[in-house]
Amino acid sequence: MSASPRLQLSPPWVKALPLIGIALLAVAPLLLPEFTVTLLNYIGLYAIVAMGLVLLTGVGGLTSFGQAAFVGLGAYTTATLTTTYGVSPWLTLLVGLALTALVALALGFITLRLSGHYLPLGTIAWGISLYYLFGNVEFLGGHTGISGIPTLGVFGFELHSGREFFYLIWLAVLGVVVLTRNLLDSRSGRAIRALKGGSLMAEAMGVNTPRAKIVIFTVAALYACLSGWLYAHLQRFVNPTPFSLTQGIEYLFMAVIGGVAHVWGALLGAGLITILKQWLQDWLPQLLGQSGNFEIIFFGLMMIFILHRSRDGLWPILLRFVPQAPAAQRVTTVGQPLARRPVVERGQELLSVREATKRFGGLVANNQMSLDVRAGEVVALIGPNGAGKSTLFNGISGVDPLTSGEITFRGERVERLPSREIARRGMSRTFQHVRLLSGMSVLDNVAIGAHLRGDRGYLPAALHLERDEEARLLAEAAYQIERCGLAEHLNDAAGSLPLGKQRIVEIARALAADPCLLLLDEPAAGLRYFEKQALAELLRRLRDEGIGVLLVEHDMDFVMGLADRVVVMEFGEKLAEGLPEDVQRNPAVLEAYLGGVE
């Protein structure tokens, strides 16, 4: 493979882009006409909301149409408290954020349980409800709204004009950009990004997915609230109109068109939509010879076109024109590696499955299956396709619980525990159908496996106060990648590897959890001869370290050369069990599994 794209360094002007941007922003209000400054102010306010949607929708995969309602919450809280009760505006920001957090937690608790299209529908429902609340409650000014909102003072300096306000808004934008980027570049960020790959994998790696969802939902709401608070003091007047569902949809437009999975996409989208809207509002009626909100129609068509051409919005397209820096090598040597689990003594029982039964409606996929795995042994689970091996793995790991039966793991009954709790106790697995985040690097994918070995949460991540732990997590991930022979692919996107190697990435991810029991579902499928040998060697080493391995595999040479014991399944039931050589001679096995030949 050619190494050229990785070694190519980006020219200095690319590295200077953010600084150039900040410098331009700093002088903008001094040079630009009033109208343009106002436009930039709005772009900043919208970008803050869109940034929340990048986190929620783009990264987390949860769509919300209701963000405008949270903007309204921020705006109305400060409008009411400052005008009616004379509370200081800076205090109302804190009150607004606290109130928004409460509302978001309550709404999130109800709506985030909804799946599929019910979630967006749910956000529409409360988006509309809050909008009508603003319009119909008398002390919120009804549809006339609230006027006379005071200006903001910063260190005794009153922000009267849009030009003065500009700096506060764009400081807020920068702050939100930094927080969001920090959050995404962390253990918590990996947990959030894992949501998009379906909760199943994330949970199996120990991520508390309902919690991750609630957190990004709340953060997005807090951003919106901040934007609303700024808006109220910029306008010094609020009424319900800017907080309607239409505006909520527009925020989503901005995030999606800009590039919903990219922090800068929020800025791009907010800028583009705001400027286009202004322009279209001026020109379309003149062009068409009649007045009306034609820009909405235009946006609808543009949205369809962009989604058709580039699912990820315009930001990735823009990036193509900028020479890319090579993926940063973020692994540094660390003083203190992550703590390891105490080793289970070889030969001691790790896993005991008793009479495991799993029904899918009328189909009995596992029927009274029993097996054991001890520390320091490799047990192979074999059987024809559809025998129920993967189903049993799902039952054991808690990914899809059994209908009945008992599972004891390290002396503790676990069949009723969620998969993340089982993972916490030292069981780690791979999936037959590879579940990696294909756009993410191999390093980040494997680091998800180490999730439970860190404990710094979302707030330290957003403030980057967890760099020490993060470095140790990444170092651990890098170690496991190297151990599995994938060091050269550390920074490659996981999805760019051949399927066989992706399976090895899954093993590295499972190992990053420092497990005492490994469940490997067809790990050697798609591997070439030498790769299989390397894998067998790795598994032998793990066995010698005292790890228990339960693996499903179809390659009989691989299995027979490696396994200490073999369990044979057919039609969901155990057909035979024993030493490889005995099982190989068992007539029932030969009949059922090997087709009766030899």
Local structure of residue 553 (DSSP, 8 states): -
Task: Work out whether 434 is an interface residue with ligand ADP (CB under 6 A).
Answer: no
Distance CA 193, CA 261 (A): 10
The contacts found for 151-155 with CB under 8 angstroms, 24 or more apart, are: 151/233, 151/236, 152/89, 152/90, 152/233, 153/89
Asked if 435 and 525 count as a contact pair (C-beta separation under 8 A), the reply is: no
The residue within the footprint of ligand ADP, chosen from 52, 108, 313, 388 (CB under 6 A), is 388
Report CA dihedral (127, 131, 136, 138) to the nearest 10 degrees: 120
Closest approach of ligand ADP to the CB of residue 43, in Å:
47
Q: Which is nearer to Mg ion, 393 or 409 (CB)?
A: 393
How far are the Cα atoms of 59, 68, 123, 220, 595 from residue 225, in angstroms, in the given order? 20, 9, 16, 9, 67
Closest approach of ligand ADP to the CB of residue 509, in Å:
20
Place of tokens 């044979």: 568
Distance CA 196, CA 265 (A): 18
Task: Work out whether 567 is an interface residue with ligand ADP (CB under 6 A).
Answer: no
Local structure of residue 56 (DSSP, 8 states): I
Q: Which is nearer to ligand ADP, 278 or 367 (CB)?
A: 367
Closest approach of Mg ion to the CB of residue 390, in Å:
3
Contact segment (CB under 6 A) with ligand ADP among 223-231, 327-335, 360-368, 408-416 equals 360-368
Task: Work out whether 360 is an interface residue with ligand ADP (CB under 6 A).
Answer: yes
The residue within the footprint of ligand ADP, chosen from 2, 286, 336, 385 (CB under 6 A), is 385
Q: Which is nearer to ligand ADP, 142 or 418 (CB)?
A: 418
Closest approach of ligand ADP to the CB of residue 430, in Å:
13
Residues 6+ apart with CB under 8 A from 427: 351, 396, 397, 409, 515, 516, 517, 519
Report CA dihedral (312, 314, 320, 321) to the nearest 10 degrees: -170
Alpha-helical regions (H) of 185-288: 187-195, 199-204, 209-235, 245-259, 263-288
What residue number has its CB nearest to Mg ion? 390
Q: Which is nearer to Mg ion, 237 or 571 (CB)?
A: 571
Closest approach of ligand ADP to the CB of residue 174, in Å:
47
CB atoms within 10 A of CB 370: 14
Task: Work out whether 390 is an interface residue with ligand ADP (CB under 6 A).
Answer: yes
Distance CA 349, CA 134 (A): 62
Q: Which is nearer to ligand ADP, 308 or 433 (CB)?
A: 433
Q: Which is nearer to ligand ADP, 379 or 477 (CB)?
A: 379
Instruction: Residue 40: name its binding partner from ligand ADP, Mg ion, none (Cβ under 5 to 8 Å by kind).
Output: none
Residue 409 one-letter amino acid: F
Contact segment (CB under 6 A) with ligand ADP among 279-287, 294-302, 359-367, 453-461 equals 359-367
Task: Work out whether 445 is an interface residue with Mg ion (CB under 5 A).
Answer: no
Site for Mg ion in 380-399 (CB under 5 A): 390
Instruction: Residue 512: name its binding partner from ligand ADP, Mg ion, none (Cβ under 5 to 8 Å by kind).
Output: none
Contact segment (CB under 6 A) with ligand ADP among 175-183, 317-325, 369-377, 380-388 equals 380-388
Task: Work out whether 387 is an interface residue with ligand ADP (CB under 6 A).
Answer: yes
Q: Which is nearer to ligand ADP, 389 or 543 (CB)?
A: 389
Task: Work out whether 419 is an interface residue with ligand ADP (CB under 6 A).
Answer: no
How far are the Cα atoms of 99, 226, 234, 239, 308 from residue 92, in angstroms, in the given order? 10, 11, 15, 18, 43
Task: Work out whether 365 is an interface residue with ligand ADP (CB under 6 A).
Answer: yes
The residue within the footprint of Mg ion, chosen from 246, 293, 432, 533 (CB under 5 A), is 432
Per this entry, what is the length of the chain? 598
Task: Work out whether 389 is an interface residue with ligand ADP (CB under 6 A).
Answer: yes
Task: Work out whether 283 is an interface residue with ligand ADP (CB under 6 A).
Answer: no
Instruction: Residue 210: name its binding partner from ligand ADP, Mg ion, none (Cβ under 5 to 8 Å by kind).
Output: none
Partners of 568 in beta bridges: 382, 576
Classified as helix, coil or strand, 552 is strand
Q: Which is nearer to ligand ADP, 90 or 360 (CB)?
A: 360
Q: Which is nearer to ligand ADP, 218 or 390 (CB)?
A: 390
Closest approach of Mg ion to the CB of residue 366, in Å:
12
Instruction: Residue 388: name its binding partner from Mg ion, ligand ADP, none (Cβ under 5 to 8 Å by kind).
Output: ligand ADP
Distance CA 267, CA 44 (A): 8
Asked if 454 and 187 count as a contact pair (C-beta separation under 8 A), the reply is: yes
Chain-centroid distance of CA 247 in Å reads 26
Residues that bind ligand ADP (CB under 6 A): 360, 363, 365, 383, 385-391
Residues that bind Mg ion (CB under 5 A): 390, 432
